[in-house]
């Protein structure tokens, strides 16, 4: 099944992921628990792939450049 978002949905998802990215960065930088830091760093790496996929889809579907 292929999901095609509308422009507004791309923008909402992008903003939510950017907010989550800031949250994970804060955890990674301030956590005193090494396991929490490693988990946050792992999620940040996965999030970078999600950002790239979302950017590619937005450009393909609507010519929308997400930054």
Quickly count helices (H) and strands (E) in the chain.
2, 0
Instruction: State the distance between the two ends of the chain, measured CA to CA, in whole angstroms.
Output: 27
The pLDDT assigned to 21 comes to 98
Q: Is the pLDDT of residue 4 over 90?
A: no
Counting Cβ atoms within 10 Å, is residue 1 exposed (0-12), middle (13-18) or buried (19+)? exposed
Between 1 and 12, whose confidence is greater?
Answer: 12
What per-residue confidence (pLDDT) applies to 14? 97
Contact criterion met (CB below 8 Å) for 54 and 12: no
């Amino acid at each position: 099944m292929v999901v095609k978002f509308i422009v507004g949905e791309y923008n909402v998802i992008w903003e939510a992921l950017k907010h989550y990215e800031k949250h994970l960065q804060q955890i990674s930088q301030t956590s005193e628990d090494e396991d929490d830091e490693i988990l946050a760093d792992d999620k940040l790496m996965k999030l970078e792939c999600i950002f790239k996929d979302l950017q590619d889809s937005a450009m393909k579907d609507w010519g929308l450049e997400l930054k």
